[in-house]
A and B are shown apart, each in its own frame.
Chain A
Amino acid sequence: MDRRRFVQSVMAVGAASAVRPPLLWGQGADALRDLADAALATARKAGATYADIRINRYRNQFLFTRDRRVDNIVDTEDYGFGVRVIVDGTWGFASSSLVSKEEIARIASQAVAIARANRAINAEQVRLAPVPAYDATWNTPVKRNPFDVPLQAKLDLLLQVHEEALKVPGASFVSASMQFVNEQKYFASTEGSHIEQSLIRTYPSFNVTSVDKTTGRFYSRRALTSPMGMGYEYVESYPLLQEARVAAEEAVATHKAKPAPAGSKALILHPSNLWLTIHESVGHSTELDRALGYEANLAGTSFLTTDKLGTFTFGSPIVNLVADKTQEHGMATCGYDDDGVKTTRWHLVKDGTFVDYQTTRDQAALIGQSASHGCSYADSWGSVPFQRMPNVSLEPGTRDLSEADIIGATEDGVYVKGDGSYSIDHQRYNFQFSGQTFWEVKKGKITTQLRDLAYQSNTPEFWKACDLLGGRSTYQLGGAFTDGKGQPMQINSVSHGCPIARFAGVTILNTGR
């Protein structure tokens, strides 16, 4: 087990509930404002030309069930604050879980001291794009707060998933889970902003495994659910029980499925698979910090260097990729980013051409832009905010083609549903993805189930090969609940919408041995 996780871990061995800190949340914003103003004043007095503070409370609930029993319920709370300063054009940051006026003053001074210690090795003066001062509140629109739903109702549904799946002969093991996240964030800066936000995310999932002891082979099929920026209404509206049965049937059927044909094929991707390909090949390649080399040591750089901006042919003319921090149900959707910038929507790729990046306040000027796109995010009160991915989505086609239309128009191909194995190089060129289920398409029809399939390509070639897009009716939101980046590693949740799409002449591998 990761030692850091061990040290930070909660000894989660049963059902749980979090304890609300008695001091601040729930007592209105006045107490927070007083604490924030004290921090900003301390930082200014110590020599900071800019300072901000985030006082954040995080609530997480995870319910895990396996094989008809409740395995684990974890309900955690995390509370603290982080102060970020600029001193002589150099960033400094410090944070603490002890939220008191004295500690806030100490931490604000420590942030300034850290900035001073690093001034000598800073060759690039920080320049922040201007931003208006906001006094605002923003909350994820939810119909039902998942934390208000009784534990029993959640567990009953999860255990029903087991029953449904295990009705299928050959289904051996089932696990099912629900995860809920609530970020309560208070942001204040020396530029006059005071912003309070509450973000909620919900993720139901399950996994069914079929084991054939005579052959020694096993196959799994995971739910095609995605995490969402929604409340419990997502769980209530998703057909979990029906899908559990289908998943079990497909896992069992994989034992008799035809081995994947290796070679070049037309590749049809369902949104439950394509979202991850968008995430890895588009979402990360259009991050400006990567393109400029700021993430060179871990996440890597990007093939989309700044000289390509506005001219590079990223995909075929039907490819339009949009960044959107305001998208309904998006997990990266919020009112304001962690720089205090109001969120927006913009094109990354328009009609196949690469036209823009994801940016933060301290990056915009580096490519001659006067405003940030609002992509700053920190995963904790104890983390430094930096550029994180907004929701990045592929626009549907202009004609409202259905799944049947796309399959019907395909002579020889494979159809992939659900996300599976994923890997991409550090400049976001070469990638390989698998899926949950694979289907052979011949002469406009799905003919048989396949197994052991992965597809390999490189980003520009792949998107240039996009030759058919489904319409709005096929558009779905997928997403990554725990996208990692940075050092120390930070987690971001982000959604990706897309229609069903077809790509010509993609390399298919048989991964069986």
Chain B
Amino acid sequence: MSMIWTREQAKALTDRVLSLSKAEQTFVAVSGSDRANVRFARNTATTAGATSGVSLAITSRFGKRSGTVTTAQFDDASLQRALRAAEEIAKVSPENPEAMPFLGAQTYSPVNAYFDDVAAATPEWRASTVETAIARSKQKGVVSAGFVETQMAMQAVASSQGLFAYDRFTAADYNLTSRTTDGSGSGWASKSFNQLRLLDPAALAEAAIGKAAMAANPTGIEPGTYTVVLEPAAVADLLAFMLFSADARQADEGRSVFSKKGGGNRVGEQILGDSIRIYSDPSHPLAPSLCFDNEGLPIARQSWVEKGVLQDLSYSRFWAQKMGKKPTAGPANVIMDGGSSTMADLIAGTDRGLLVTRFWYVRPLDPQSLLLTGLTRDGLFLIEKGEVTRPVRNMRWNESPIVALNNVEAMTPAERAVSGEGIGGAGLALVCPAARIKEFRFTSASDAV
């Protein structure tokens, strides 16, 4: 039984819940998903699975007191039980002075993020995708591990104030890591799209397998400051972590890299290099997204950085009201515009530097400067006089995206990217370029391959 209900099915349930409610205000959310995947490793399938689920969340409110329950039982008796429980808890809960009234009817500009080719993907298609990678890996004498997943999801929200929103999306993800049999070289590739036709599993397998061979038998290099050519997957990490920190309230309260000394935030300041433009756009063709967020707020195009100048931060509905600003919905994607260089151009323009496939285990180190730490993984190469000369051992880096994105020298056109730890997959979609960045700090060597 598919858990991807139609708009009418979702509305019938939310209407029923609202009609049975005895609270002053009620908010209802219905979400469902059908997901199926295959994992492989050591050039063989390991696990495969499918999961289907749908759930209902009800929030009842009396004044500024709220109660939320979740249930997966949708008969009237279960709904009544859930509603009474939510109402009971709301009555005994403390007031939240920051509670915002539920939204009423909104105007949405939906884009199509749901594609039938993903919905129609079969276990056999997933198996054949894996089979192709395994066959090619064996042919090339490498050992591969990877993951293929297709998913469909639907979401509906409604309120007693007249809100109703429904949307759905699909996602197809494929990523793999190929390692040489002697364990001296490793390569990786990953992509995520809403449409199956945009996903090219064979090309991704070729990329990972080719990278593993290129990366074999690396030699050491001294940690220090290098010019780096970051593939989009690595740029994605810098972009994502910067956006995760872009909360207006944190900045206004003086505890963020976006806080202004003496008070307030840095909106309007030049914080990045003037070639940098970052925005969110639910209608971006490579990253179409849902048209509302989990409160029912319409997701619209949103500018974050323009010519290096900070345009806006993320405002919750409460903080926006307090500060006289517009609340920020979502975002469901982040786009960093690129340039017109090719990857070959980026390498050719590097006198001495490092080509980075992806980052790994990126974590915040100092929120004051947004200093991050992380490692390189699955292909690090020395560039000398405009040419890739040899694979080198992985290294740990400590750097801030604020510093790095002030040091961008050139970029390729932007593309859909997934970071080393999966940011940019079937969640917050990322679109960004490869970039050449000067003075990137590496602090120690790693023997990991």
Contact = CB atoms under 8 A, between A and B. Distances in A.
Contacts of B78: 19, 22
Contacts of A106: 1
A240 to B, nearest CB: 19
B50 interface: yes
B68 A75 contact: yes
A19 B294 contact: no
Interface in B320-371: 330, 332, 360-369, 371
A422 B374 CA distance: 9
A292 B42 contact: yes
B44 A121 contact: yes
Contact of A95 (B28, B51, B255, B369): B51
A198 B391 CA distance: 51
A452 B366 contact: yes
A512 B366 contact: yes
A4 B41 contact: no
A216 B179 contact: no
Nearest to B71: A19
Contacts of B55: 8, 10, 78, 97
A76 interface: yes
B46 interface: yes
Contacts of A333: none
A4 B426 contact: yes
B273 interface: no
A488 B50 CA distance: 11
17 contacts: A11-B28, A15-B92, A19-B85, A73-B93, A75-B70, A92-B49, A95-B51, A118-B130, A121-B44, A121-B127, A294-B145, A297-B176, A423-B396, A429-B448, A430-B445, A430-B446, A454-B373
Contacts of B46: 91, 294
A113 interface: yes
A314 interface: no
Given A7-B31, A11-B294, A77-B71, A96 B53 contact: yes
A323 to B, nearest CB: 23
B72 A93 contact: no
Interface string A412-434: 00000000011111111110101
Given A14-B96, A454-B365, A1 B428 contact: yes
A429 B393 CA distance: 13
A456 B90 CA distance: 49
B195 interface: no
Interface string A90-111: 1111111110000100100011
A294 B177 CA distance: 11
B114 interface: no
Contacts of A383: 49, 51
A7 B32 CA distance: 7
Give the interface centre of A7, A213, A217, A511 by most chain B CB atoms within 10 Å: A7
Given A3-B426, A5-B427, A97-B55, A151 B447 contact: no
A314 to B, nearest CB: 15
Interface residues of A, number: 108
A17 B53 contact: no
Contact of A427 (B59, B157, B448): B448
Interface string B394-430: 1010101000000000000000000001100011110
B49 A114 contact: yes
A31 interface: no
Interface string B67-98: 11111110001100110011011101110111
A300 interface: yes
A152 interface: yes
Interface string A248-282: 00000000000000000000000000000000000
Contact of A513 (B260, B294, B371): B371
A50 interface: no
Nearest to A456: B444
B1 A296 contact: no
A303 B447 CA distance: 9
A386 interface: yes
A192 interface: no
Contacts of A82: 49, 51
B134 interface: yes
A209 interface: yes
A69 B98 contact: yes
B154 to A, nearest CB: 8
A18 to B, nearest CB: 6
B143 interface: yes
A462 B38 CA distance: 37
Given A117-B124, A123-B44, A426 B360 contact: yes
A27 interface: no
A74 B68 contact: yes
A430 B375 CA distance: 9
Nearest to B296: A11
A300 B33 CA distance: 28
Interface in B154-179: 154-155, 157, 169, 171, 175-177, 179
Nearest to B37: A488
A430 B449 CA distance: 11
A121 B40 contact: yes
Given A14-B66, A93-B49, A430-B375, A298 B147 contact: yes
Nearest to B394: A425
Contacts of B171: 3
A121 B134 contact: yes
A242 B313 CA distance: 36
Contact of B428 (A2, A97, A215, A300): A2
A93 B375 CA distance: 34
A13 B66 contact: yes
A421 B365 contact: yes
A214 B374 contact: no
Contact of A458 (B126, B429, B447): B447
B65 A14 contact: yes
A224 interface: no
A114 B123 contact: yes
Interface string A448-464: 00001010101000000
B239 to A, nearest CB: 15
B447 A429 contact: yes
A421 B294 CA distance: 30
Contacts of A11: 27-29, 57, 59, 68, 157, 294-295
B88 A17 contact: yes
B332 A120 contact: no
Interface in A174-211: 209, 211
Interface in A51-108: 69-71, 73-80, 82, 90-98, 103, 106
Nearest to B157: A11
B68 A21 contact: no
Given A209-B255, A432-B396, A16 B47 contact: no
A122 interface: yes
Nearest to A83: B49
Nearest to B32: A7
A489 interface: yes
Contact of B49 (A1, A79, A95, A298): A95
A202 B376 CA distance: 36
Given A19-B81, A430-B394, A430-B447, 16 more contacts: A2-B428, A9-B31, A13-B68, A21-B72, A93-B47, A120-B131, A122-B44, A211-B254, A213-B261, A220-B255, A292-B42, A297-B177, A425-B448, A432-B365, A511-B398, A513-B368
A297 B33 contact: no
A512 B367 CA distance: 11
Nearest to A94: B50
A103 B2 CA distance: 11
B39 A487 contact: yes
Q: Which 3 A-B pairs have the closest CB atoms?
A: A14-B66, A15-B93, A216-B261
B293 interface: yes
B86 A17 contact: yes
Contact of B294 (A1, A118, A300, A489): A1
A382 interface: yes
Contacts of A12: 57, 59, 68
B308 interface: no
